[in-house]
Amino acid sequence: METEAQTQYSFRMPVKLVFGVGAGGDVSAEMAELGRRRAFVVTDSSIASSGSAFDKLIKGLGPRLAGVFKEVTQDSGFEIIDKAANMAADAEADCVVSVGGGSVIDTGKGICVALKNGGSIRDHMGVNILAEPQTPHIVLPTTSGTGSEVTNVAVIYDSVEKRKKNLLDHHIYPNTAVLDPEFLVGLPQAVTAATGMDAVTHAIEALHSMMKNPVSDALALQTLGLMNQWLPVAWAEPANIAARGHTLVASNLAGAAFSNAMVGLCHAIAHGLGGVARVPHGLANSIALPHVMRFNLEVSPGLYDQAAKALGLSAGEDVAGWVEGMARRMELPMTLKDAGVAEDSLVEVAEAAMTDGAALYNPRPVFEPDEIMPLLRLIWAGN
């Protein structure tokens, strides 16, 4: 049977959404609504030099621009956040504007916390320990994957412990998400594919989570329908604004779904793979998801029946095959072996996954690294 939806639940979605082609040029209006005057823009070097949409954003900010930080890397960590927060403080910034994918947005969340509270972001890591609203944060996603513009979590890499760590707090929801499809036009095909599969994973894991509820279900099912129709188009035609817009909205809906329903074992494994073997998050999810779904189906037949209906498939068992079909169609690696992961790193990945909070919400309970080793070997080899 399906995971039973919660009979009592709450649902948070406190982020203002603004959607529109060219909406990134009018961030000043959103700042004014928040009573802010000095924006510290956080991004990475490739977005900063990408031209049109980013240049429009900077031009639109005009005298409200306090500074641009473009040193965010994939899965950036404590050091980068602290450095950026110090620069933002020196520039007397009173809000953060993050322009990028998950790494940039999560870095932006960390900067907001460090800027508000002082000290290192290391001192403020935890679960719901912040006492009040943080530095206002406006987010412009440049991928259709992470959904981080509407979530209360920042995943931050600890380079000392080689682990991804979570900052999870209701006070780190961004204030405003500006969804402008123009920011996605230059996204390379491989990134479109991998980040899109991350959003698909958010939807599937929200649907099978122990924390699922009717509101998250509705958002997750709509995500699957949109991604089924539009993700392959966005991949094949990078400048197709309609496809970019639909996938951007889909990833946003999935973000709102999993921010409330949480994710599951696939994300726990993806976080382990990211920390231990530096596999990009979306790619790790794309490779692991079908195997995790079949692993869950062994104890919960019917788990993906809702998803099958949304995708026009005849049975829940077909959904894992649909996931594989999407990944294959977009030419993503299908195994960890093909993604360059060393087989002897799997034990460490299993250990990391079992310390990750996401595993707690998986419909098939797992506690010990040994319990998922056969699954990890399957994800590595493919069969």
CA distances to 63, 171, 211 from 151, rounded to whole Å, are 30, 10, 15
Nearer to Fe ion, 149 or 198 (CB): 198
Q: How many CB atoms lie under 10 A from the CB of residue 275?
A: 25
**Min. distance of Cβ 311 from Fe ion in angstroms?**
20
**Nearest distance from C-beta of residue 61 to Fe ion, angstroms:** 29
Single out the segment in contact with Fe ion by CB under 5 A; choices: 74-82, 166-174, 196-204, 238-246: 196-204
Stretch that binds Fe ion, among 136-144, 193-201, 241-249, 364-372 (CB under 5 A): 193-201
* The one segment of 122-130, 194-202, 298-306, 364-372 that binds Fe ion by CB under 5 A: 194-202
Smallest separation (angstroms) from Fe ion to the CB of 255? 9
* In the complex, residue closest to Fe ion by CB: 198
Q: CB-wise, 198 or 356, nearer to Fe ion?
A: 198
Q: Is 356 in the site for Fe ion (CB under 5 A)?
A: no
Nearer to Fe ion, 30 or 198 (CB): 198
Using the contact rule CB under 5 A, the part of the chain among 36-44, 47-55, 190-198, 361-369 near Fe ion is: 190-198
Cross-strand bridge partners of residue 18: 178
The answer to whether 268 and 362 are in contact (CB under 8 A) is yes
Min CB(286)–Fe ion separation in Å: 10
CB of 213 to Fe ion, least distance (A): 19
Report the candidate in 286, 254, 288 with the shortest Cα–Cα distance to residue 359. 288
Count of residues binding Fe ion (CB under 5 A)? 1
Neighbouring C-alpha atoms within 13 Å toward the C-beta of 56: 13
What minimum distance in Å lies between the beta carbon of 281 and Fe ion? 6
Short-list 326, 365, 370, CA closest to 350: 370
Q: How far is the CB of 258 from Fe ion (least distance, A)?
A: 8
Query: From the CB of 353, what's the least distance to Fe ion, in Å?
Result: 14
Residues 6+ apart with CB under 8 A from 218: none
Among 75, 94, 106, 198, which residue interacts with Fe ion (rule: CB under 5 A)?
Answer: 198
How far apart are alpha carbons 137 and 12 in whole angstroms? Answer: 17
The number of C-alpha atoms within 13 Å of 1 and in the hemisphere containing its C-beta is 4
Q: How far apart are CA 180 and CA 209, in angstroms?
A: 30
Stretch that binds Fe ion, among 191-199, 235-243, 346-354, 370-378 (CB under 5 A): 191-199
Name the residue nearer to Fe ion (CB basis): 94 or 198.
198
* Of 39 and 220, CB closest to Fe ion: 220
- Considering beta carbons, is residue 30 or 356 the nearer one to Fe ion? 356
Choose the stretch contacting Fe ion; rule: CB under 5 A; options: 122-130, 178-186, 192-200, 365-373. 192-200
370 Cβ contact list (under 8 Å, min separation 6): 350
Q: Which is nearer to Fe ion, 169 or 198 (CB)?
A: 198
Asked whether the beta carbons of 144 and 197 are under 8 A apart, the reply is no
Provide CB contacts within 8 A for 8, sequence distance 6+.
none
Name the token pair of 169. Answer: 């707090």
What are the C-alpha distances in Å from 234 to residues 52, 131, 167? 19, 41, 31
Q: With CB under 5 A as the contact rule, which of the stretches 73-81, 159-167, 195-203, 206-214 interacts with Fe ion?
A: 195-203
Task: Indicate the DSSP class of residue 130.
Answer: -
Rounded Cα gap, residues 318 and 286, in angstroms: 16
Closest CA to 109 of 99, 100, 128, 96: 96
Please state the closest distance from residue 267 (CB atom) to Fe ion, in A: 6
Amino acid at 4: E
CB of residue 270 vs Fe ion: minimum separation in angstroms? 7
Q: DSSP characters for 11-61? A: ----PEEEE-TTGGGGHHHHHHHTT---EEEE--HHHHTS-HHHHHHHHHH
Q: Which residues bind Fe ion (CB under 5 A)?
A: 198
